[in-house]
Amino acid sequence: MATRVLVERIDLAIPSSIIFNFISTGVEHPELKFIASELRAALALVRSRKLAELGEKSAEMLAKADRLDVGKGIVARAREAWPPIQKEDPKPQKGAPKPPEEVVTLTLKKAGAQGSL
């Protein structure tokens, strides 16, 4: 889902490391201010999901995604469609199969970069 949210269009050549760093750490590089608000909303949404996955507070980042998604387009639809983060059971049952590892792949069309989180 992150791929579909972020891959619609990238108008500026921004190094993928800046995008991945924001999603992973929340640190906003100054170049992120130059991309369209819809794309920043998508990044904020993905960052909020990362925070929720880590068990941290994500409400502030979700609010930021809502503020930036002025047209209530693909980001709003993605937020509604994305299933809630599943909390892992701290004590897995003996003999229970291990859940598959989730990998999010982000493809940047114009920059030609590809990576995964």
Residue 39 tokens read as 């794309």
* pLDDT tens-place string over residues 96-110: 666 566 555 555 555
Q: Is the pLDDT of residue 92 over 80?
A: no
Q: What is the pLDDT of residue 57?
A: 94
Query: Which ranges of the chain would DSSP assign to H, the alpha helix?
Result: 2-7, 16-25, 37-53, 59-68, 74-81
Rounded CA-CA distance 20/23 in Å is 5
Please tell me the pTM assigned to this model: 0.64
Q: Write the pLDDT tens digit of every residue in 1-54.
A: 555 555 554 455 788 889 889 999 999 999 888 888 998 999 999 999 999 999
Token code pair at residue 45? 């949404």
Nearest to 3 by CA among 84, 111, 112, 109: 109
